[in-house]
Structure 1
Amino acid sequence: MKKELHEANRHSWNAATVAHNSHKGDQAAFFRAGGSTLFPEETALLGDVNGLSVLHLQCNAGQDSLSIARRGARVTGVDISDEAIDFATRLSAESGVAARFERADVYDYFEAAAARGERHDIVFCSYGTLCWLSDLGAWARGVAQLLKPGGRFVIVEFHPFALVFDPQWKFHYDYFNAAPVPEEGVGDYVAESGDGLIAADSPMPGVQDFRNPHPSFEFTWGVGQVTTALAQAGLTIERFDEYPYTNGWKPFEGMRDLGGRRMAPPEGMPRIPLMYALAACRA
């Protein structure tokens, strides 16, 4: 586990989170009006969450956490970024949607939560979370440990095959890579995706030409590594689905909206897996 790189990522996410939320307008009003940031894939996999305890790992600024809470769940959101958790806490108070948020490195949270006997019906994470994990096995064991018997783990994630490309669809990154990948910092992917990642009616200009002053470090995990880690942690994989589109995110040039903010490659390009979803349960 590379905690010094986690700390570097914390600083990078603190800077990026301010830029991201600057484009999203009055999010409290959006939630007060009944809004939700969940896509159909998450809603279907989560199922009926009314009355259930849901742990949302790497929850970012809490928008999806509050969307789950609106459906009747008791939600705890955890994220490494101070800015993200501060924003999520304010958004919960201002929107009137109750949820609890805690700032912590996910591995530290696993240790503390296990020590106090914490258990949940569902552990959930989504969209760009696994690349920030330096120890996949420890993560999978932590997820399993915090599930009640019969509890479920649900993840919707960008497909690692898609992440071998640069923004111009040229092969650039190794799919099989055991070393941390240094980056210039978490970018403003919200601005780059335009209305793709804005659930409100119209995006706000917000921060312009954002450049992150803090470098970041990512980790590459293939589909086989993810499924194996969860299985070795004692979880039974119930389903695994792949999708030829991304929800909201436009990481590559020429991406087009298929409807419902499902972003696909340009016309004429062969379909490839850009996103996947997995559900697993604890016996």
Structure 2
Amino acid sequence: MNDYLQVNRANWNARVPIHVGSAFYDVEGFKAGRDPLRPFEIDEVGEVAGRTLAHLQCHFGLDTLGWARRGAEVTGLDFSEPAIEQARRIAAECGIPAKFVTADVYDAPEALGERYDIVYTGVGALVWLPDLTRWAETVAALLKPGGSLYIAEFHPFADVLDDETGAKVTHHYFDPGPHVWEYPYTYTGSEILEYQTSVQFRHELGEIVSAVAAAGLRVEFLHEHDHTVFRRFPTLTEDGGVYRMPGDAPRIPLMFSLRASAGSAPPPAADSPASSSGPTA
């Protein structure tokens, strides 16, 4: 547990060159104008032109740069220096103005040194964080008064289902971890990773919403979606670029999105006496 950050950083550093060269991320398509953002995200976040946006756990920044193309003044943060180097390279090659910073997400207020109109976190981010209370406090410290947090994530309910069909409950829902995984591949293909160990943490939907609310943010909506962005189970069928349960199979939540707003008074800093959690590493 004490080494989770170092273990995960090595794992994600190893993923960077594989991901950048993968068809899954399609960097060349992005350079040619492909939009990496999901349509429901664009609709739910709303107009971003002229607004400042911080993307936490941005990986190598395609989604960050997608918001920049829509007019946002973007800053991406990630704990992987190779990922940030790639983000800066892609931004420069595309002529997109963007700032990228290497830091752990819990250190974001100090590393970024400013507040934002929007804090955005994309799919597959929360599972890498052991302490959502501290994470939500970090987000609150980054928001301007009246600013908003937006999350688009995989629904935790999908993690209780069997991997073969997605039709049977075979795993515990209340099972926070840490879960240590040894897996030779990343999700983009068959190239073997140099560092194959990762540490992940499961968070129930109630835990996520409660952490956001406890940080002083007002939840505006929580939407559950019956589709996901990849074939999570072999039985899922593609439908307009997303994946759903087939035919007459029961519809289940596969993703969720949440938006919450900061009040008019600035929130306390994440490391202030008002913060209820200490260091995690």
- Per the normalisation by structure 1, the TM-score is 0.86
Residues 102-117 of structure 1: pairs in structure 2 closer than 5 A: 102-113=101-112, 116=113
Are the equivalent residues in 2 in contact too, given 1:132–1:217 (CA < 8 A)? yes
The answer to whether the aligner puts 1:173 opposite 2:171 as a matched pair is: yes
1:216 corresponds to which of 188, 195, 198: 198
Partner of 2:128: 132
Partner of 2:235: 254
Secondary structure of 1:246's counterpart equals coil
Q: Hey, what's the Cα distance between the residues in 1 that align with 2:153 and 2:11?
A: 21
Are the equivalent residues in 2 in contact too, given 1:245–1:275 (CA < 8 A)? yes
The answer to whether the aligner puts 1:150 opposite 2:146 as a matched pair is: yes
The aligned length equals 261
Partner of 2:269: none
Aligned-partner residue type, residue 223 of structure 1: L
Q: Hey, what's the Cα distance between the residues in 1 that align with 2:187 and 2:116?
A: 31
Q: Which has the higher contact order (CA 8 A, sep 6+)?
A: 1
Give 5+ residue unaligned stretches, structure 1: 192-207
Q: What's the CA shift string for 1:6-41, capped at 9, x where partnerless?
A: 111111111122222222399665344332101111
Partner of 1:42: 41
Aligned-partner residue type, residue 180 of structure 1: P
Deviation at 1:171, TM superposition (A): 3.7
Q: What's the CA shift string for 1:63-105, capped at 9, x where partnerless?
A: 0000100111110001112221111111001111111111111
Secondary structure of 1:226's counterpart equals helix
Deviation at 1:181, TM superposition (A): 0.8
Are the equivalent residues in 2 in contact too, given 1:237–1:280 (CA < 8 A)? yes
Partner of 2:246: 266
Q: What's the CA shift string for 1:143-188, capped at 9, x where partnerless?
A: 0111000000001000000012342135443211232011114842
Change (3 A) 1:95 1:112: closer
RMSD across aligned positions (CA): 2.0
Secondary structure of 2:252's counterpart equals coil
Are the equivalent residues in 2 in contact too, given 1:12–1:185 (CA < 8 A)? no
Aligned-partner residue type, residue 167 of structure 1: D
Aligned-partner residue type, residue 252 of structure 2: I
Residues 59-70 of structure 1: pairs in structure 2 closer than 5 A: 59-70=58-69
- Per the normalisation by structure 2, the TM-score is 0.87
